[in-house]
Amino acid sequence: MTPVLDAALRSWPADPWLWAGLLVAAFVYGRGWRVYHRRDPGRWGYDRLAAFVGGLAATFLALGSPVEPFAGLLLSVHMVQHLLLVMAAPPLIWLGAPLLPMVRGLPEPVRTYWVGPLFGVRWLRRFAASLTHPVPALVALVVTTWAWHTPAAYDLALRSSSWHYLQHACFLAAGLVFWFPVVRPYPYRPAWPVWLLVPYLLLADLSNTVLSALLSFSDVVLYPYYAGVPRLDGGSALDDQAAAGVLMWVPGSVAYLVPLFGVVIGLLSAEPARPRQNPVPVGGRFALPLAGAAPPPRFDLTRAWVVGPFLRWRYARPALQLPLLAVAVLVVIDGFAGPAEAPLLTGR
């Protein structure tokens, strides 16, 4: 066993608050999920339970495993931590559709007298609806990512545990806000057209690509903190920075382009929107409204000039799906074999 691996296996942070928070969240969700699973096992299957627990596990891996202490020694490990908090944990949590189980799993007095009345606060519902719209959600992620990756803010987070905790909280919160419109967990129904997710994910990928390219191709160490710590892997701080850029580039592009492909396929095979449904009961004395529910948009793209006849063509769907699939495959291949790895091969 190498000294680095031995040190990693021995470096488990002792953070009882993290353990307690994740265990309480898992217990409350499991308690509520069990109730809904008994009523409707088709909608509330074990896949939702596994997704939510997987999101909590990704959070624990980022903050409660050896990834946490080693993030202060290697920028590449720190980047893995941020990817877990932004691109792994949030979508898994939302795939578990926790809005109803987390409320139903609370003790009845808390659910009825404390949490329940919050759903009747009009300004709070409007704030939640506006925050989960693609435009502010994208702004939240991009601003959070770029702000914390400035050299001054990044070094501050590395030198201060309080700022480091705040950085983690910001990344996790921004990830939860960003992935909510993409996953759209039940019973949420958006009041905005779903095609907004196409530029939404493309712009997020563009922002991620530009930032990762800056890390990969920079000729100077952007974060002086890492230039002064012991080098565990035998490489230079510049090599570590380039590796962090590659990690941000390739998995980041995959994380954005795979759901983008799914959104496009869903739009091409979508059925007409159904009428608005009634609020969904969650037990107790209140109901959770379907936030963001709205009538279908009036604009019909299939009747537009030039575009409409093409969309009504019987072969329009495969004609759009095949090129998009080819582009996605080429982007993934380029991420693994393209110039993003060039800084690692220069021997700097």
Q: pLDDT tens across 272-285, in order? A: 555 544 444 444 44
What is the spatial distance between Cα 244 and Cα 218, in angstroms, rounded to a whole number? 12
pLDDT given at position 16: 84
pLDDT given at position 295: 42
In a domain, 3, yes or no: no
What is the spatial distance between Cα 81 and Cα 74, in angstroms, rounded to a whole number? 11
In a domain, 315, yes or no: yes
Scanning 106-196, the segments in alpha helix (DSSP H) are 108-110, 122-131, 134-148, 151-159, 161-183
In a domain, 5, yes or no: no
**220 is written with which tokens?**
């100077």
Question: What does the pLDDT look like over 31-76, one tens digit per residue?
Answer: 999 999 999 999 999 999 999 999 999 999 999 888 888 888 889 9
Q: Which of 348, 73, 80, 343 is nearest to 228 (CA)?
A: 73
In a domain, 67, yes or no: yes
At 236 the three-state DSSP class reads coil
What is the spatial distance between Cα 313 and Cα 310, in angstroms, rounded to a whole number? 5
Provide the angle, in degrees to the nearest 10, between the axes of the packed helices 46-63 and 161-183: 160
Please provide residue 288's backbone torsions phi and psi, each rounded to the nearest 5 degrees: -95, 115
Give me the number of domains the chain comprises: 1
What is the spatial distance between Cα 36 and Cα 39, in angstroms, rounded to a whole number? 5
In a domain, 4, yes or no: no
First-to-final CA distance of the chain: 28
Answer yes or no: pTM beyond 0.85. no
How many Cβ atoms are within 10 Å of 55's Cβ, its own excluded?
24
Q: How is the chain split among helix, strand and coil, in percent rounded to 5?
A: 70, 0, 25
Tokens 């905005």 map to which residue?
192
In a domain, 220, yes or no: yes
Q: Residue 166 is part of which domain span?
A: 10-272+280-345
Look at phi and psi of residue 297 and say left if phi exceeds 0, alpha if psi is from -120 to 50, else beta. beta
pLDDT given at position 45: 93
Q: Which of 267, 308, 271, 274 is nearest to 290 (CA)?
A: 274
In a domain, 1, yes or no: no
Report the 3 state secondary structure along 67-114. Answer: HHHHCCCCHHHHHHHHHHHHHHHHHHHHHCCCHHHHHHCCCHHHHHHH
Tokens 């910001």 map to which residue?
170
Q: With a cut of 50, which residues of the chain have pLDDT below it?
A: 1, 276-298, 340-348
Question: What does the pLDDT look like over 106-126, one tens digit per residue?
Answer: 998 888 888 878 877 888 888
